[in-house]
């Protein structure tokens, strides 16, 4: 277990998959980011939360010069420290990923290109809140469960036409 002022972190036993649900809160004024309700791999420099499954862990571990037996989030962390944002297009699988780099003062969230593993967000008065789970996001006390009327207005009338194609 790794403890520091912002986060309590621990490794998971499974090296390729995880069903962890995480919440990342990023201040809208850019003053900071923090994880809540998350199992995070990290230290004072870089924290990583991963939900889902990565398919290319052996190759990723090889390029990051770490053991493929490590938990997936630890392999991603090592690869990010080596390659930075160049890592993201190389990730294969079904996943939602969050990284907080305290040295660079940045937070990054990503999901698989097909969206097989969803990534949700909500705006609060002070933060943008990201989560790998809609249920976990809705459980946050400052996140509204109200329906987004803009989205429902946009989707009203969207559906299959007689030809089977979707129309607006």
pTM of this structure: 0.71
For residues 72, 73, 76, 82, the Cα torsion angle rounded to the nearest 10 degrees is -130
Helix ranges restricted to H, 2-126: 57-64, 72-83
**Among 142, 138, 60, CA closest to 97:** 60
**What is the band of 4 on the pLDDT scale with cuts at 50, 70, 90?**
very low
Q: What is the pLDDT of residue 114?
A: 87
Could you report the per-residue pLDDT of 140-167, keeping only the tens digit for each?
Answer: 888 887 766 655 555 555 555 555 554 4
CB 76 within 8 A of CB 54: yes
CA distances (Å), origin 82, targets 60, 61, 77, 114, 146 = 11, 11, 9, 25, 42
Tell me the CATH number of domain 2-143, given options 3.40.366.10, 3.60.20.10, 3.40.50.880, 2.40.280.10.
Answer: 3.60.20.10
Task: Supply 73's token pair.
Answer: 């989030």
What CA–CA distance (Å, rounded) separates 56 from 90? 9
For the chain, the structural domain boundaries read 2-143
Q: Which residues pair with 35 in a beta bridge?
A: 24
What value does the mean pLDDT of the chain take?
77
What CA–CA distance (Å, rounded) separates 66 from 83? 14
**What is the band of 81 on the pLDDT scale with cuts at 50, 70, 90?**
very high
Angle at 23 between CA 64 and CA 99, to 5 degrees: 25
Four-residue CA torsion sign, 5, 67, 95, 108? positive
**Among 119, 101, 94, 117, CA closest to 109:** 119
CA distances (Å), origin 124, targets 128, 141, 143 = 6, 10, 6
């Amino acid at each position: 277990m790794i403890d520091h002022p912002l986060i309590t972190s621990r490794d998971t036993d499974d090296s390729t998959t995880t069903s962890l649900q995480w919440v990342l809160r990023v201040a809208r004024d850019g003053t900071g980011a923090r994880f809540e309700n998350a199992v995070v791999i990290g230290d004072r420099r870089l924290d990583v939360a991963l939900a889902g499954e990565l398919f290319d862990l052996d190759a990723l571990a090889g390029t990051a010069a770490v053991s493929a037996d490590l938990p997936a989030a630890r392999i991603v962390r090592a690869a990010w420290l080596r390659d930075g944002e160049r890592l993201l297009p190389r990730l294969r699988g079904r996943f939602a990923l969050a990284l907080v780099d305290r040295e660079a003062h940045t937070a990054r969230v990503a999901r698989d290109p097909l969206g097989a593993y969803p990534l949700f967000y909500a705006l609060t008065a002070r933060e943008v809140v990201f989560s790998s789970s809609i249920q976990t996001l809705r459980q946050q006390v400052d996140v509204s469960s109200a329906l987004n009327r803009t989205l429902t207005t946009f989707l009203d009338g969207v559906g299959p036409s007689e030809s089977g194609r979707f129309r607006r």
